[in-house]
Amino acid sequence: MTGARRGNGSRPARRGQSTTTVGDERSALRVLVMVGGPGAGKGTQARYLSAALGLPHVASGDLFRDAMAEGTPTGLEAKAYYDRGALVPDELTVRMIAERLDQPDAASGAILDGFPRTVPQARALDGFLLRRGTRLEGALYIDVSEDELVRRLSGRWICSGPAQHVYHVVNHPPERPGICDFDGTELSQRADDAADTIVARLEKQLPPMYEVVDYYAERGLLLPVAGETRASEVTDALLRAIEHAVAEPVT
Ligand code: AMP
């Protein structure tokens, strides 16, 4: 994998007004999406943002893993794609996210992590929000090079507790090998973090992701943040980007 990524973080946003409105309607629904390659840190950052903003963290990958573990029709259909590192078809993914966003805990909005991953998914989300009288607050793009994504994914170990603390064999090893520092649960590697699946995931998933980056950049909604600094610095940069987007929403 080469470092030939071409994320588009530099286009100027079209911002100006001071409230989020669609027509004359004001909406309390706050939806932010997190865009970035597998291993960019979307999950870790989304959990911090969820706590900071008081919005539920909705991760499409977690929803698929739960559906597969429960053996639901969505899980059974998604498994073949998931196991080979491919994207699950848009229709199934959009339906699953829409159902999740209709749950009561998402009444005031959500941080979407890993969705949308294709332009049709981004359009479907826009339509969903428009029908609820609002629009996306911003698309947070965590920019990490492809070489760094491979390095992170291949050394990644995750705890089995609900917080899913993330470790790295070299960068961030646990104090006791194989055990989470925080909740004492066993660490494991995700099945799709196996070396050949990592390459497949990046090859299949990065090109549509760059299209999603362009889609949001063209609409003035992209909030790009450098993702190769310390996790706390990434969080601060994301919170600053959100503050700025709220102060100057897209007209
Ligand atoms: P993640 O945990 O976000 O890395 O997602 C794990 C896997 O779930 C991906 O490799 C895809 O197979 C599937 N997946 C997650 N989100 C999406 C999405 N928005 N569209 C299609 N497939 C997805």
- Cβ of 74 less than 6 Å from ligand 1: no
The domains of the chain are located at: 27-145+206-247
For 4-37, how does the pLDDT look when each residue is reduced to its tens digit (9 = 90+)?
344 444 443 444 333 344 443 445 789 999 999 9
What is the DSSP code string of the chain?
--S-------SPP-B--SS-EETTEE---EEEEEE--TTSSHHHHHHHHHHHHT--EEEHHHHHHHHHHHT-HHHHHHHHHHHTTPPPPHHHHHHHHHHHHTSGGGTTEEEEES---SHHHHHHHHHHHHHTT----EEEEEE--HHHHHHHHHTEEEESSTT--EEETTTB--SSTTB-TTT-PBEE--GGGSHHHHHHHHHHHHHHHHHHHHHHHHTT-EEEEE-SS-HHHHHHHHHHHHHHHHHS-B-
Catalytically annotated residues? 42, 117, 156, 190, 201
| 132-159 average pLDDT score | 94
Can you name the CATH fold of 27-145+206-247?
Rossmann fold (3.40.50)
- Cβ of 128 less than 6 Å from ligand 1: no
- Cβ of 61 less than 6 Å from ligand 1: yes
For 184-237, how does the pLDDT look when each residue is reduced to its tens digit (9 = 90+)?
999 999 888 888 889 888 999 999 999 999 999 999 999 999 999 999 999 999
Question: What is residue 27's predicted lDDT score, i.e. its pLDDT?
Answer: 54
Cα-to-centroid distance, 198 and ligand 1 (Å): 12
pTM for this structure?
0.84
- Predicted confidence (pLDDT) at residue 95 exceeds the cutoff of 90: yes
Q: Which atom of ligand 1 is nearest to the CA of 64?
A: 8
Q: Which atom of ligand 1 is nearest to the CA of 117?
A: 19
